[in-house]
Chains A and B, each alone.
Chain A
Amino acid sequence: MTRSASPRLPAYAALAAFGLVAALGAGRPALAALATPFALLVVVALAGAPVALDGGLRLERERVLEGEPVGATATVINTGAAARVELYLPTTPRLQSEPVATAFWLAAGARREVHFKLEVDRWGVHGAGPALVRSRDRLGAFALEGDLGKACELRAYPKFDRLRRLVAPLRTRPVLGSQVARERGEGIEFADLRPLVAGDRVRRINWRATSRRRVPYVNVQHPEQSTDVVLFLDTFAQAEHAEQGTLDAAVVAAAALASAYLARRDRVALVSFGGVVSWLTPSAGAAQLYRIVDALLTSEIRRGHKWKNVVHLPRRLLPARALVLALTPLLDARGIDALLDLRARGYDLAVVEISPLLHTPAQDGDEAYRLPLRLWALQRDALRARFEALGVPVASWQHPHTSLELAVEEVITFRRHARPAPHA
């Protein structure tokens, strides 16, 4: 906290000194009498007890959903002389509070709580506070200003829609799960018939086929198995307009996909591939969802010029049978090359392209950008065709105008009609 004196104290002291000097020099007692009130006020101000404050800021909750309001309470305790207190909670562009300070009188030893309402505009880790406080003594001669307590961390999680359908991986893990596998074994979904061999269970015999062929036949099913899904977040670059960008859409999509896959007992990994590479190894369960969402909260574009590719990732992060879902604006060549490299290594890859075209100046009707934008769109079409020629579906998602489900359906449709042969 910073203590300061009102500018009038030195001014009054100077006036008093001037009046006394003038009275002494000119022999005019009236001047000394005129200077006396100013000297008296300075003496009274200096003789007063100092102001001192204590307190802190407390949040109603530490975790909220994007767009939800959250309450904050600032507590001020007067540990000095009675004072006039002004309290203000500073805001940031993504964490809004009331922009007006609150002023009140606080007696010596008294305590006061002031409530604020914070509006969270965007997901992320936000710092709320510390509250700014300024107090003045009774005469306003001395002021105390500073931060009250410490800042509080507020985690705002992205809001995402529930996905009803998901991209099915080409290969599964030999672990019980919810995904119908291509392999044959014990399960519910009927796969095929084959002749009975020693060791088959009697209840698997297909009596209708057996009576027709006069040889015992058994049913073979597709087992339900778990899968590995790797969410590949391209954080090399983003297109941004005002407060929203492609990274926001990527985080929302990653959270929605992770939630949906983990709900059906699959393992999900997260790779944030950009200027700084970070990852979460594949795991399942609710704890993994919290880990992924917490990791997504700290996602940001960090610019770097070093060339990176997938060899920098640990091997255990990319299981051989995993489905790699890339969430990328396809802006940076390093991100694009990493995806092509993954495909060349035989990974089951699908790309959700978060369209950066919505964040361009041409959307504002600026004619000068129209032709370059058309050329750029053609280049992006060529890039998309290159991926599709390799058997990688690229679904364009125009967040927030279209739903993520549409993009997922586009991937599913592509894979149904142009499915690449799985590598051994």
Chain B
Amino acid sequence: MLGVATAFDAPQSGLGLLGTGAATLLLVLALAAARPAAVPFALLLLGAVYALPAGHHVIAVPIYGSVLLVCGELAYWSLDERIRERADAGVELPRLVAIVAVGVAAIPVSALVLAAADTDVARSPAGTAVGAAAIVACVALLVALAHLRGGVRAQQRAVSDRFVSPTVSPTQQN
């Protein structure tokens, strides 16, 4: 819906609709095949549909970014809840509240970043360096998280597999 509204708002709505369609298809495939790797590409496409066409947008940037985040969170949440289980009532409420809270908190933060980025300052090496440093920090975080995941990937899969399958091979005699 986000993508469609943005696409119609843009001068070349055909491309926008195509991008939106591809993103939707990616999301659907990711959820159907339980492949979380496809979700970021869908989000990237939806972001590109919004950001690439120049001009005024009917949906404000902070709101679009926040809703994009919520979409991604809901997609990943759906992929997390794939095992058959008996759940207490209200067990999902804290996560829902947290997602909405982060989404709502992201709006003023995005607006602040937009305002800061919009200020008319001359491009300078210092400014560029700060920006590059922020990018490096993000990449470093990515590497650290990837390392954390990679180090425990084999063990995690073994435990998760035991969680999903209803019976396990006997580990005791007899």
Measured between beta carbons, the chain B residues less than 8 angstroms from A5 are 145, 148-149
Q: Does B122 reach chain A (CB closer than 8 Å)?
A: no
Question: Could you tell me if A37 and B69 are in contact, using CB atoms closer than 8 angstroms?
Answer: yes
Measured between beta carbons, the chain B residues less than 8 angstroms from A99 are 166-167
Most A C-beta atoms less than 10 A away, residue of B44, B68, B91: B91
**From residue 41 to 63 of chain B, which have CB atoms closer than 8 A to chain A?**
43-44, 47, 50-51, 61-62
* Interface bits A1-44 vs B (CB < 8 Å: 1, else 0): 01111111111111111111111100011111111111111101
Q: Is the interface of B mostly helix, strand, loop or mixed?
A: helix
The answer for the CA separation of A102 and B113 in the assembled complex, in Å, is 43
Q: Does B12 reach chain A (CB closer than 8 Å)?
A: no
Q: A33-B113, A92-B170, A132-B163 are in contact. Are A84 and B135 (CB under 8 A)?
A: no
- Tell which of A14, A20, A23, A91 touches B168, judged by Cβ atoms closer than 8 Å: A91
Question: Could you tell me if B156 and A15 are in contact, using CB atoms closer than 8 angstroms?
Answer: no
**From residue 65 to 118 of chain B, which have CB atoms closer than 8 A to chain A?**
65-66, 68-69, 72-73, 76-77, 80, 83-88, 90-91, 93-95, 98-99, 102-103, 105-106, 109-111, 113-114, 117-118
* Interface bits B116-152 vs A (CB < 8 Å: 1, else 0): 0110000000001001101100110110011011001
Q: Is the interface of A mostly helix, strand, loop or mixed?
A: mixed
Question: Could you tell me if B135 and A20 are in contact, using CB atoms closer than 8 angstroms?
Answer: yes
- Tell which of B102, B111, B162 touches A33, judged by Cβ atoms closer than 8 Å: B111
Q: A33-B111, A37-B106, A140-B77 are in contact. Are A20 and B131 (CB under 8 A)?
A: yes
Question: Could you tell me if B91 and A15 are in contact, using CB atoms closer than 8 angstroms?
Answer: no
The answer for the CA separation of A409 and B156 in the assembled complex, in Å, is 59
Measured between beta carbons, the chain B residues less than 8 angstroms from A33 are 61-62, 65, 110-111, 113-114, 117
Question: Could you tell me if B47 and A19 are in contact, using CB atoms closer than 8 angstroms?
Answer: yes
Question: Could you tell me if A132 and B162 are in contact, using CB atoms closer than 8 angstroms?
Answer: yes
Q: Does A127 reach chain B (CB closer than 8 Å)?
A: yes
- Tell which of A23, A91, A101, A132 touches B167, judged by Cβ atoms closer than 8 Å: A91
Q: Does A300 reach chain B (CB closer than 8 Å)?
A: yes
Q: Does A139 reach chain B (CB closer than 8 Å)?
A: yes
Number of interface residues of B (CB under 8 A): 75
The answer for the CA separation of A104 and B84 in the assembled complex, in Å, is 14
The answer for the CA separation of A101 and B162 in the assembled complex, in Å, is 11
Question: Could you tell me if A13 and B141 are in contact, using CB atoms closer than 8 angstroms?
Answer: yes
List the B residue with the shortest CB-CB distance to A147. Answer: B159
Q: A94-B170, A140-B80 are in contact. Are A17 and B135 (CB under 8 A)?
A: yes
Category for how many chain A residues contact B? 35 or more
**From residue 14 to 44 of chain B, which have CB atoms closer than 8 A to chain A?**
36-37, 39-40, 43-44
B contact set with A: CB distance below 8 Å:
36-37, 39-40, 43-44, 47, 50-51, 61-62, 64-66, 68-69, 72-73, 76-77, 80, 83-88, 90-91, 93-95, 98-99, 102-103, 105-106, 109-111, 113-114, 117-118, 128, 131-132, 134-135, 138-139, 141-142, 145-146, 148-149, 152-153, 155-156, 159-160, 162-163, 166-174
- Can you list 22 pairs linking A and B with CB atoms under 8 Å apart? A7-B37, A10-B149, A13-B141, A24-B131, A24-B132, A29-B114, A29-B117, A31-B47, A33-B113, A36-B62, A88-B163, A91-B167, A92-B169, A94-B170, A100-B166, A101-B86, A102-B87, A103-B88, A127-B172, A132-B159, A132-B163, A136-B95
3 tightest A-B CB contacts, nearest first: A29-B117, A124-B174, A99-B166
